[in-house]
């Protein structure tokens, strides 16, 4: 598909996701308490959207990922957080 065809097919879905994300951020900014590594990872991912090239999805995924190569003996949490805390 060319760019116009992609926009014709997928624009409304992408628009809805951006509006949903904006609503989530509004709720987060109105809430009290501290943020954690997930917020920082999300902010980094959003900055990656500003770059205009074909590696956006890769960089967004990496912004949430653990960059270390060595396996750890035991996971630090009982539930996956979806973002690397920077701690092993």
What integer pLDDT is reported at residue 70 of this predicted model? Answer: 85
46-55 pLDDT per residue, tens: 999 999 899 9
CA distance 22 to 24: 5
* pLDDT band at 85; cut points 50, 70, 90: confident
* Residue 86 and residue 67 in contact, taking contact as beta carbons nearer than 8 Å: no
Residues 6+ apart with CB under 8 A from 83: 37, 38, 40, 41, 42, 64
CA distance 75 to 88: 8
* pLDDT band at 83; cut points 50, 70, 90: confident
């Amino acid at each position: 598909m060319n760019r116009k065809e992609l926009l014709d097919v997928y624009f409304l879905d992408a628009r809805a996701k951006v509006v949903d994300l904006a609503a989530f951020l509004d709720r987060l900014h109105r809430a009290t308490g501290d943020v954690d590594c997930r917020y920082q990872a999300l902010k980094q991912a959003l900055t990656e959207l500003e770059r205009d090239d074909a590696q956006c999805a890769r960089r967004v995924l990496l912004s949430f990922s653990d960059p270390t190569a060595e396996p750890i003996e035991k996971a630090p949490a009982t539930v996956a957080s979806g973002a690397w805390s920077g701690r092993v």
